[in-house]
């Protein structure tokens, strides 16, 4: 049997160890609670405001730099344009007519450019597309087709609507209308009455051998008949009727064996002609 003193000493040691263990456990729990509280503690309002101000400032500065580059970088100024649809006009002319050279792409309105191009007599329609470099602008044009050549001081083209255009090349296949007594040049962009154009094309379709017609402001369309006189058809209206009546008038002239100087068909109900001489007189 152990002495009582030894038992007491062993008990004291055991109690001390348990106390020390409890103290260490409490310390660990306190440390853990302190760490957890630190994690859950919200950031101070002042720190949050400062951080968002910093982020906003960076964004503003970045946008300012980007805007400056957009407004000043040479890549965004128009130096050339992709052009399609041209036939008689050159690409250089279309680029000049568009008036976009050295303009910033941000300040170009496609509709304004289209309207400006369509003011050119040779251009019937224009489509403008604005994008990003390198092909910032594309222009597609539809040019007017010449229907005939009008010679009044200068030679110009005229389309089926009567719009006067600059002659771009020699087209011997086109009907030519000559204004003999008017030396004042006709202006590009002017309009010839559409009835004149339609009447001239009808004459050409009925008589394909006609290469040149005349035009007089009073007598209208005319041509030199190979039998020795000039016939005038007026403004070109009712051309089919006038041609039928003209054939009847010619039969009458030949039957009477007379030589007219002019046959005037402006009014198909009242045609008349001048007589130069009559056979046998």
As to burial, measured by CB atoms within 10 angstroms (0-12 exposed, 13-18 middle, 19+ buried), residue 119 is: exposed
What digits encode the pLDDT tens for the residues 146-177?
999 999 989 999 999 999 999 999 999 999 99
Element (H, E) at 27: helix 4-40
What digits encode the pLDDT tens for the residues 197-209?
999 999 999 999 9
Question: With contact defined as beta carbons under 8 Å apart, do 79 and 135 qualify?
Answer: no
Domains of the chain: residue spans and CATH? 7-72 (no CATH), 75-143 (3.10.20.310), 148-278 (3.40.50)
Contacts (Cβ under 8 Å, ≥6 apart) of 97: 116, 117, 120, 123
Q: Structure pTM?
A: 0.71
Q: Residue 278 and residue 260: Cα distance in Å, rounded?
A: 9
Of 201, 199, 152, the C-alpha closest to 174 is 201
What digits encode the pLDDT tens for the residues 63-82?
666 555 555 556 667 888 89
Q: Residue 168 and residue 77: Cα distance in Å, rounded?
A: 31
What digits encode the pLDDT tens for the residues 211-235?
999 999 899 999 999 999 999 999 9
Question: With contact defined as beta carbons under 8 Å apart, do 161 and 124 qualify?
Answer: no
Q: Residue 99 and residue 101: Cα distance in Å, rounded?
A: 6
Of 20-29, 66-75, 111-120, 144-153, the range with the lowest mean pLDDT is: 66-75
DSSP string spanning 30-43? HHHHHHHHHHHSPP
CA-only gyration radius of the chain, Å: 48
């Amino acid at each position: 049997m152990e002495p009582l003193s030894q038992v007491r000493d062993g008990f004291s040691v055991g109690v001390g160890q348990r106390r020390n263990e409890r103290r260490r456990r409490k310390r660990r729990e306190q440390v853990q609670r302190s760490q957890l509280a630190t994690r859950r503690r919200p950031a101070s309002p002042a720190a949050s405001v400062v951080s968002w101000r910093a982020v906003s400032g960076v964004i503003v500065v970045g946008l300012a730099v980007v805007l400056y580059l957009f407004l000043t970088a040479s890549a965004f100024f128009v130096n050339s344009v992709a052009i399609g649809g041209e036939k008689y006009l050159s690409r250089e002319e279309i680029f000049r007519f568009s008036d976009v050279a050295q303009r910033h792409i941000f300040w170009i309105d496609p509709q304004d450019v289209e309207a400006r191009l369509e003011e050119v007599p040779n251009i019937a329609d224009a489509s403008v597309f604005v994008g990003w470099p390198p092909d910032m602008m594309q222009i597609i044009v539809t040019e007017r087709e010449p229907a005939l050549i009008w010679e009044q001081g200068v030679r110009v083209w005229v389309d089926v609507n009567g719009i006067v255009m600059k002659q771009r090349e020699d087209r011997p296949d086109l009907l030519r209308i000559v204004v003999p007594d008017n030396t004042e040049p006709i202006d590009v962009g002017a309009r010839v009455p559409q009835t004149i154009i339609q009447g001239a094309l009808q004459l050409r379709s009925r008589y394909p051998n006609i290469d040149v017609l005349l035009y007089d402001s009073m007598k209208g369309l005319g041509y030199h008949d190979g039998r020795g006189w000039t016939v005038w058809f007026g403004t070109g209206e009712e051309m089919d009727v006038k041609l039928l009546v003209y054939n009847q008038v010619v039969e009458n002239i030949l039957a009477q064996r007379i030589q007219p100087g002019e046959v005037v068909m402006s009014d198909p109900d009242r045609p008349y002609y001048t007589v130069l001489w009559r056979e046998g007189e």
